[in-house]
Amino acid sequence: MRTILYSLLPPTRLAVLIALALPGVMQNACAEEYFNPALLEVGNPSMKGVDLSSFARGAQVPGNYRVEVVVNDQTVDSREIEFKSVATAEGDHSLQPCLSLGLLQSYGVKTDLFPELNKDRECVNFAAIPHASADFIFGAQKLLLSFPQAALTSQARGYVAPEMWDEGINALLLNYSISGDNTWGRNSMTNNSHSQYANLRPGINIGPWRLRNYITWRRDTDGKAQWDTVYTYAQRNIVPLKSQLTLGDSSSPSDVFDSIPFRGGQLASDDEMLPDSQKGYAPVVRGIARTSAQVVIRQNGYIIYQSYVAPGAFEITDMYPTGGAGDLSVSVKEADGSVHDFVVPYASVPVLQREGRLKYSLTGGQYRPSDSEVEKRPLMQGTAIYGLPKGFTLYGGIQASSPYQSYAMGVGKNMGEFGALSVDVTQARSKPETISQTSGQAWRVRYSKNFTDTGTNFSATSYRYSTAGYYGMQEVLDADSENASLLDHRRNRAEVTLNQTLGPAFGSLTGSAIREAYWNADKTMSSYSVSYNNAWNGITWGLSYTYSNNASADGNGGDKTYDKDQILALNISIPLDRFLSNTWASYSLNTSKKGNTTHTVGLSGTALQENALSWSVQQGYGNDGSGHTGNLSADYHGTYGEVTGGYSSDENMQRMNYGLNGGVLVHANGVTLAQPFGETIALIKAPGASGVGVTGQTGVKTDFRGYTVASNVSPYRKNSLSLDTETLPDDVELQLTTQTVIPTRGAVVRAKYIANVGTRVLMTLTRENGQLVPFGATVTFATDPHSGGFIVGDQGQVYLTGLENSGELLARWGMEANEQCRVNYVLHKAEADSGVVLSNEICK
């Protein structure tokens, strides 16, 4: 804000003013505060006749002001609004907002009940709504709107009117992630190798349309390179239906049927369009690495994530969305070449919906297999979930393809203190290529319960295929592949997860279990894990146990199959703030039933401004042939991207890995390089303000032009984006430091900040007759007299920002010609570089 009051009253005069003004203030305390301008003349005759009427009782000059809009004590908007001077019943004037009919509708006002609202086409007539009022609190830059409850529509908490959603600007986007490693063998058991991996996620935004692509590239030691396309699709929101229209490659929803990758079209409900109070998950991959390992995650046969982890327990939470659900196949490749595989399921919750809420999906196209040998057969799917009264939810769907048809029907019930339960049955008829026609049924039960009093969160999902003739659609469509087998399809599957809080001093307990049995095969797949975590005075520790009977390994010493394995892990982290700030010491122990045990000690921490650099040093010892191990890693989040690197070694090899991640945004104002983008982003535009940080975004700063990208914005929600004023250059001041954006899904919204770039000056203004420019006068740039002004304080002093080295100013304290003057100033370069410049100027 450029309107700044700079007033320093001498102590003697200030005491007199307080003494004289206090009785008047007390007298009017129950009505309104009033300051008599005549008091300014005490000891200062030059102020006689000063016109301060525009500031009486908080009134201000009419014009455009950016304000926070509050409707019945609830903040609903932040925008620039025009305010006009309106005569009151008492004969005074006050500023009233000029609001359109559509804007009132977006705030939930039932405008159709008040025809006289639109009497003035430019501004609504507030008098048309009985007992409605608008109060502009200038000091806080807030517009308080008050309406009777009958004039407002019933809205849920967190509701944001669709009229306020921003489709964003037209832009080209590119997310990129490049990684690789070089491995050198130390003996004949380990060969030299190297590999590179990259994924590119280009996109185009045009109006409400989002075009997205996801391609990956991988090259191994033999020099073989492979390109894969994970998806290509166009998407837009359909606001009246609270839905998303997707054309291209995607995956069907998994709430009724298992998710199926397809190429075609889909119209499906988008829960994000609902307020938080009306909507109901993304998997977290946890595992344990015995050595410095490579982690590869696949979904529906596609590699969607690849990274490197240090020995010990790891947690991956930063996977990019792939547009669908489904189990994740995780491969942990150890330094000795062995590979440990496990499956991470989506933990489904009951599909309950609020009463009257319809959630649906319509999908059509062809099957999109990861195996090129599989025929791309046409398919269709439709699902519907509807909330009924008394806590019931009815849901069902249909799937169809040339060799497969299935129908599903289910019901869910909110049982209050007994939790939530859903039960459904699917009838399927299949005609696979390799066997005769068959049919069968599958029953599914899902249960969830939060025990608030005991801090327990329990959920269980149980699948049981009741007949041997039941197959899922993807099983049948994949039967064309030579590697596919329908003989050992699943008979039953059970999933259980449990989270228990033990209290502030006793930590928390987490457990999970997965078990599958198969028809026509004497085998099961099961995985059980339990972990305990606690903290005390900054010291954190955890103990975990994992049992798995589907682990396998393929080392250089020959093919091996680990049908069963058990792993015990202990992790301790201790802060070292007393010795080294932002530094932690750690110890981990990992041991398995096979006799593999590793001990690791390390140091880790953060450094640089806003902790942009993360680093880690580890040293360990293992008895599984790796002997002594070492690991170094660093991750730097910078203005133009993210750089990662690491080095690891053991008795058999040395490995160096590296990575570069970032985003490129092309828009109407140029090209902006930034850290990797999220799905929905905001373009920070503050021309001239370079190197300014964004609050809550590690390492994110405006580039040399004053642009950057903020990624942690939520679609259909109010997002407040603030610039860190502590990182502002000395010659830059912002009129506003916080902007609110409400993007649609996938949008690139612009958050514009106006920066006053130039010198800061404390200027004393003296008129040609020797008198000071009066208190309360407004000073503006002569080239833009209608812009916001600076207010002259006592002794003719005014604080100015954004001044060039030379220019002309206009000072005005009344409407007459002799109540204004102009200042031509010149600042020397040495003064301009000294911070706040003190200057005395003649106003002619």
Answer yes or no: are the C-beta atoms of 779 and 790 closer than 8 Å: yes
Are β-strands 524-536 and 508-518 bridged in parallel, bridged antiparallel, or unpaired?
antiparallel
**For position 345, what pLDDT does the model report?**
52
Answer yes or no: are the C-beta atoms of 389 and 486 closer than 8 Å: no
How does pLDDT run across 516-538, given as a tens digit for each residue?
Answer: 888 877 777 888 999 999 999 88
Listed in sequence order, the residues at least 6 apart from 521 whose beta carbon sits closer than 8 Å to its beta carbon are 487, 488
How does pLDDT run across 144-157, given as a tens digit for each residue?
Answer: 998 887 788 766 65
Enter the tokens of residue 228: 């894969």
58-67, 218-227, 322-331, 714-723: the lowest-pLDDT one? 322-331
Three-state SS at 302? strand
How does pLDDT run across 627-681, given as a tens digit for each residue?
Answer: 788 899 999 999 999 999 999 988 878 899 999 999 999 999 999 999 999 899 9
Length of the chain: 844
672-684 in b/e form (b: 16+ CB < 10 A) is: bbbbbbbbbbbbb
Report which of residues 448 and 196 the model is more confident about. 196
CA–CA dist 806, 89 (Å, integer): 47
pLDDT bucket at 115, cuts 50 / 70 / 90: confident
Which ranges of 669-756 does DSSP label H, i.e. alpha helix?
Answer: none
Q: Which long-range contacts (CB under 8 A, 24 or more apart) does 645-648 make?
A: 646/292, 646/308, 648/291, 648/292, 648/310, 648/335
CA–CA dist 738, 720 (Å, integer): 6
Cα 629 to chain center, whole Å? 37
Cα 341 to chain center, whole Å? 31
Residue 839 — left, alpha, or beta (φ > 0 → left; ψ -120 to 50 → alpha)? beta
pTM, whole model, 2 decimals?
A: 0.75
The radius of gyration of the chain's CA atoms, rounded to the nearest angstrom, is 34
Enter the tokens of residue 605: 């921490």
CA–CA dist 671, 664 (Å, integer): 7
CA–CA dist 621, 651 (Å, integer): 10
pLDDT of 256 above 70:
yes
CA–CA dist 349, 813 (Å, integer): 67
**For position 3, what pLDDT does the model report?**
38
Place of tokens 């304080």: 793
pLDDT bucket at 318, cuts 50 / 70 / 90: low
How does pLDDT run across 287-309, given as a tens digit for each residue?
Answer: 778 777 888 887 766 677 787 77
How does pLDDT run across 349-399, given as a tens digit for each residue?
Answer: 568 887 788 999 999 999 998 877 888 899 999 999 998 887 889 999 999
**Cβ neighbours of 376 (radius 10 Å):** 15
The fraction of the chain above a pLDDT of 90, given in percent, is 31
310: enclosing H helix or E strand: none
How does pLDDT run across 409-461, given as a tens digit for each residue?
Answer: 999 887 766 778 899 999 999 987 777 888 999 998 988 876 666 777 777 66
Q: CB-based burial of residue 766 (10 Å sphere; 0-12 exposed, 13-18 middle, 19+ buried)?
A: middle
Q: How much is the mean pLDDT over the chain?
A: 81
**For position 785, what pLDDT does the model report?**
67
Main-chain phi, psi angles of 66, to 5 degrees: -85, 120
User: What is the Cβ-side half-sphere exposure of residue 734, based on CA atoms within 13 angstroms?
Assistant: 22
